[in-house]
Amino acid sequence: MDKGDSLKWTETCPYDRKGVHMDEFPTITPPSGIDVVLGSTARIRVSRLLVELPDKEFTGREMARLLGMSHSTVLDALRGLAEGGLVNERVLGRAHVFRVNREHYLFETFATLFGSERTKAGEIRDLIRSFLGATAVSVILFGSRAKRTAGKGSDVDLLVVSGDVVATEAAVAHLRVQLGRRYGLALDAKVLATAQLKSKLGAPFVKAALAEGRVIAGVSLEKVRARAA
Protein backbone atom coordinates (compact mmCIF):
# COMPACT_ATOMS: atom_id res chain seq x y z
CA MET A 1 0.00 0.00 0.00
CA ASP A 2 1.08 3.62 -0.52
CA LYS A 3 2.42 5.69 2.34
CA GLY A 4 -0.69 7.82 2.16
CA ASP A 5 -2.93 4.85 2.96
CA SER A 6 -4.22 4.50 6.48
CA LEU A 7 -3.20 0.85 6.85
CA LYS A 8 -0.04 -1.01 5.83
CA TRP A 9 0.91 -4.67 6.06
CA THR A 10 4.50 -5.41 7.13
CA GLU A 11 6.48 -8.57 7.77
CA THR A 12 8.29 -9.23 11.05
CA CYS A 13 10.56 -12.09 12.15
CA PRO A 14 10.65 -12.28 15.96
CA TYR A 15 12.57 -15.36 17.19
CA ASP A 16 13.07 -16.41 13.57
CA ARG A 17 9.31 -16.80 13.12
CA LYS A 18 7.94 -14.96 10.15
CA GLY A 19 4.72 -13.01 10.84
CA VAL A 20 2.61 -10.29 9.38
CA HIS A 21 1.04 -7.35 11.21
CA MET A 22 -0.82 -4.21 10.23
CA ASP A 23 0.59 -0.76 10.94
CA GLU A 24 -1.99 1.98 11.46
CA PHE A 25 -1.26 5.51 10.35
CA PRO A 26 -2.93 8.39 12.18
CA THR A 27 -6.32 9.26 10.70
CA ILE A 28 -8.73 12.14 11.13
CA THR A 29 -12.37 11.08 11.26
CA PRO A 30 -15.52 13.10 11.94
CA PRO A 31 -16.60 13.09 15.60
CA SER A 32 -20.09 11.77 14.83
CA GLY A 33 -20.02 8.51 12.93
CA ILE A 34 -22.93 6.47 11.70
CA ASP A 35 -23.27 4.66 15.02
CA VAL A 36 -23.62 7.96 16.89
CA VAL A 37 -25.94 9.70 14.47
CA LEU A 38 -28.19 6.65 14.12
CA GLY A 39 -28.01 5.42 17.68
CA SER A 40 -31.67 4.37 17.94
CA THR A 41 -34.69 3.31 15.92
CA ALA A 42 -36.25 6.71 16.54
CA ARG A 43 -33.23 8.49 15.03
CA ILE A 44 -33.34 6.24 11.99
CA ARG A 45 -37.03 6.96 11.37
CA VAL A 46 -36.60 10.69 11.90
CA SER A 47 -33.52 10.74 9.65
CA ARG A 48 -35.35 8.88 6.93
CA LEU A 49 -38.17 11.44 6.82
CA LEU A 50 -35.77 14.39 6.84
CA VAL A 51 -33.49 12.95 4.16
CA GLU A 52 -36.41 12.03 1.90
CA LEU A 53 -37.76 15.61 2.15
CA PRO A 54 -34.52 17.63 2.33
CA ASP A 55 -36.08 21.00 1.46
CA LYS A 56 -38.79 20.88 4.10
CA GLU A 57 -38.62 22.20 7.65
CA PHE A 58 -40.54 20.29 10.31
CA THR A 59 -41.66 21.03 13.81
CA GLY A 60 -41.30 18.22 16.30
CA ARG A 61 -45.07 17.85 16.60
CA GLU A 62 -45.48 17.62 12.82
CA MET A 63 -42.90 14.86 12.60
CA ALA A 64 -44.45 13.01 15.53
CA ARG A 65 -47.82 13.04 13.78
CA LEU A 66 -46.38 11.86 10.45
CA LEU A 67 -44.31 9.09 12.04
CA GLY A 68 -46.88 7.96 14.61
CA MET A 69 -44.42 8.56 17.45
CA SER A 70 -44.60 10.54 20.67
CA HIS A 71 -43.55 14.17 20.57
CA SER A 72 -40.93 13.67 23.29
CA THR A 73 -39.35 10.70 21.45
CA VAL A 74 -39.11 12.69 18.23
CA LEU A 75 -37.60 15.70 20.00
CA ASP A 76 -34.97 13.51 21.69
CA ALA A 77 -34.06 12.04 18.30
CA LEU A 78 -33.92 15.45 16.63
CA ARG A 79 -31.71 16.91 19.34
CA GLY A 80 -29.34 13.96 19.06
CA LEU A 81 -29.16 14.34 15.28
CA ALA A 82 -28.62 18.09 15.65
CA GLU A 83 -25.72 17.47 18.03
CA GLY A 84 -24.21 15.16 15.41
CA GLY A 85 -24.62 17.84 12.73
CA LEU A 86 -26.99 15.95 10.45
CA VAL A 87 -29.91 18.23 11.36
CA ASN A 88 -30.09 22.02 11.51
CA GLU A 89 -32.38 23.59 14.09
CA ARG A 90 -33.66 27.15 14.13
CA VAL A 91 -36.25 29.16 16.03
CA LEU A 92 -39.23 30.37 14.03
CA GLY A 93 -41.42 32.54 16.20
CA ARG A 94 -42.28 30.40 19.21
CA ALA A 95 -41.53 27.14 17.41
CA HIS A 96 -38.34 25.20 16.79
CA VAL A 97 -38.06 23.86 13.25
CA PHE A 98 -35.68 21.23 11.88
CA ARG A 99 -34.22 20.49 8.45
CA VAL A 100 -31.61 18.01 7.27
CA ASN A 101 -28.12 19.42 6.74
CA ARG A 102 -27.32 18.68 3.08
CA GLU A 103 -23.66 19.55 3.64
CA HIS A 104 -23.17 16.88 6.31
CA TYR A 105 -20.82 14.15 5.13
CA LEU A 106 -23.42 11.44 5.80
CA PHE A 107 -26.26 13.07 3.87
CA GLU A 108 -25.47 11.44 0.51
CA THR A 109 -24.83 8.10 2.20
CA PHE A 110 -28.24 8.14 3.87
CA ALA A 111 -29.96 9.42 0.72
CA THR A 112 -28.60 6.38 -1.13
CA LEU A 113 -29.49 4.01 1.72
CA PHE A 114 -33.06 5.22 2.13
CA GLY A 115 -33.50 5.34 -1.65
CA SER A 116 -32.53 1.68 -1.75
CA GLU A 117 -35.20 0.96 0.87
CA ARG A 118 -37.85 2.53 -1.37
CA THR A 119 -36.67 0.40 -4.28
CA LYS A 120 -36.95 -2.75 -2.18
CA ALA A 121 -40.44 -1.74 -1.06
CA GLY A 122 -41.48 -1.67 -4.72
CA GLU A 123 -39.89 -5.07 -5.29
CA ILE A 124 -41.82 -6.55 -2.34
CA ARG A 125 -45.10 -5.10 -3.62
CA ASP A 126 -44.44 -6.57 -7.06
CA LEU A 127 -43.56 -9.94 -5.52
CA ILE A 128 -46.89 -10.03 -3.67
CA ARG A 129 -48.73 -9.15 -6.86
CA SER A 130 -46.92 -11.83 -8.83
CA PHE A 131 -48.00 -14.55 -6.40
CA LEU A 132 -51.54 -13.40 -5.56
CA GLY A 133 -52.70 -11.24 -8.44
CA ALA A 134 -53.88 -14.15 -10.61
CA THR A 135 -56.38 -15.59 -8.12
CA ALA A 136 -57.19 -12.76 -5.72
CA VAL A 137 -60.00 -10.26 -6.17
CA SER A 138 -58.47 -7.94 -3.58
CA VAL A 139 -55.17 -7.89 -1.69
CA ILE A 140 -55.07 -5.37 1.16
CA LEU A 141 -52.09 -4.46 3.33
CA PHE A 142 -53.13 -3.46 6.85
CA GLY A 143 -51.65 -3.23 10.34
CA SER A 144 -48.40 -1.56 11.33
CA ARG A 145 -46.84 -1.67 7.87
CA ALA A 146 -49.86 0.05 6.32
CA LYS A 147 -49.70 2.69 9.07
CA ARG A 148 -45.90 3.00 8.73
CA THR A 149 -45.38 2.22 12.39
CA ALA A 150 -43.77 -1.20 11.87
CA GLY A 151 -41.01 -2.33 14.18
CA LYS A 152 -38.16 -4.70 13.52
CA GLY A 153 -40.26 -7.84 14.01
CA SER A 154 -43.55 -6.65 12.53
CA ASP A 155 -45.40 -9.04 10.25
CA VAL A 156 -46.69 -8.23 6.79
CA ASP A 157 -50.45 -8.33 7.42
CA LEU A 158 -52.55 -9.06 4.32
CA LEU A 159 -56.26 -9.55 3.81
CA VAL A 160 -56.81 -11.51 0.61
CA VAL A 161 -60.29 -11.88 -0.87
CA SER A 162 -60.37 -14.59 -3.49
CA GLY A 163 -62.67 -16.42 -5.85
CA ASP A 164 -60.50 -19.52 -5.51
CA VAL A 165 -59.48 -19.92 -1.86
CA VAL A 166 -57.59 -23.19 -2.36
CA ALA A 167 -55.38 -21.79 -5.11
CA THR A 168 -54.83 -18.55 -3.20
CA GLU A 169 -53.83 -20.32 0.02
CA ALA A 170 -51.30 -22.36 -1.95
CA ALA A 171 -49.91 -19.13 -3.45
CA VAL A 172 -49.77 -17.57 0.03
CA ALA A 173 -47.68 -20.50 1.27
CA HIS A 174 -45.13 -19.98 -1.52
CA LEU A 175 -45.15 -16.22 -0.99
CA ARG A 176 -44.48 -16.68 2.72
CA VAL A 177 -41.33 -18.67 1.92
CA GLN A 178 -40.08 -16.08 -0.58
CA LEU A 179 -40.66 -13.10 1.72
CA GLY A 180 -38.78 -14.83 4.51
CA ARG A 181 -35.92 -16.04 2.34
CA ARG A 182 -35.35 -12.81 0.39
CA TYR A 183 -36.24 -10.09 2.88
CA GLY A 184 -36.51 -11.67 6.32
CA LEU A 185 -40.21 -10.77 6.49
CA ALA A 186 -42.92 -12.80 8.21
CA LEU A 187 -46.27 -12.98 6.41
CA ASP A 188 -49.63 -13.13 8.21
CA ALA A 189 -52.29 -13.46 5.52
CA LYS A 190 -56.03 -13.86 6.08
CA VAL A 191 -57.73 -15.45 3.08
CA LEU A 192 -61.49 -15.08 2.60
CA ALA A 193 -63.79 -16.21 -0.16
CA THR A 194 -65.67 -13.35 -1.79
CA ALA A 195 -68.94 -14.65 -0.35
CA GLN A 196 -67.46 -14.65 3.18
CA LEU A 197 -66.60 -10.97 3.33
CA LYS A 198 -70.06 -9.73 4.29
CA SER A 199 -70.31 -12.13 7.24
CA LYS A 200 -66.79 -11.23 8.43
CA LEU A 201 -67.22 -7.44 8.50
CA GLY A 202 -67.18 -7.48 12.30
CA ALA A 203 -63.87 -9.35 12.51
CA PRO A 204 -61.02 -7.18 13.86
CA PHE A 205 -58.74 -7.85 10.89
CA VAL A 206 -61.48 -6.88 8.40
CA LYS A 207 -62.25 -3.70 10.36
CA ALA A 208 -58.55 -2.83 10.36
CA ALA A 209 -58.25 -3.48 6.63
CA LEU A 210 -61.27 -1.26 5.92
CA ALA A 211 -60.01 1.53 8.17
CA GLU A 212 -56.33 1.69 7.30
CA GLY A 213 -55.77 -0.75 4.45
CA ARG A 214 -53.79 -0.08 1.29
CA VAL A 215 -54.62 -1.88 -1.94
CA ILE A 216 -51.71 -4.01 -3.15
CA ALA A 217 -53.56 -5.85 -5.94
CA GLY A 218 -57.08 -6.04 -7.32
CA VAL A 219 -59.79 -3.68 -6.10
CA SER A 220 -60.63 -2.10 -2.76
CA LEU A 221 -62.73 -3.89 -0.15
CA GLU A 222 -65.46 -1.32 -0.63
CA LYS A 223 -65.77 -2.36 -4.29
CA VAL A 224 -65.82 -6.03 -3.31
CA ARG A 225 -68.64 -5.30 -0.87
CA ALA A 226 -70.56 -3.34 -3.49
CA ARG A 227 -70.27 -6.14 -6.04
CA ALA A 228 -71.47 -8.72 -3.51
CA ALA A 229 -74.49 -6.62 -2.44
The amino acid occupying position 202 is G
Domain count, the chain: 2
The interaxial angle of helices 107-132 and 41-52, nearest 10 deg, is 90
Does residue 30 fall inside a structural domain? yes
User: Tens-digit pLDDT profile for the chain (229 aa)?
Assistant: 454 454 555 555 555 555 555 555 566 667 767 777 777 889 999 999 999 999 999 999 999 999 989 999 999 999 999 988 999 999 989 899 999 999 999 999 999 999 988 888 899 999 999 999 999 999 999 999 998 888 778 999 999 999 999 999 999 999 999 999 999 999 999 999 999 998 999 999 999 999 999 999 999 999 998 886 6
Buried b (16+ CB within 10 A) or exposed e, 60-84: bebbbeebebeeebbbbbbebbeeb
Are 26 and 94 contained in the same domain? yes
Does residue 110 fall inside a structural domain? no
Are 75 and 41 contained in the same domain? yes
- DSSP β-bridge partners for residue 7: 24
Tell me 53's DSSP state.
S
Range of the domain at 93: 1-105
Task: Answer for the pair 141, 214: CB distance below 8 angstroms, yes or no.
Answer: yes
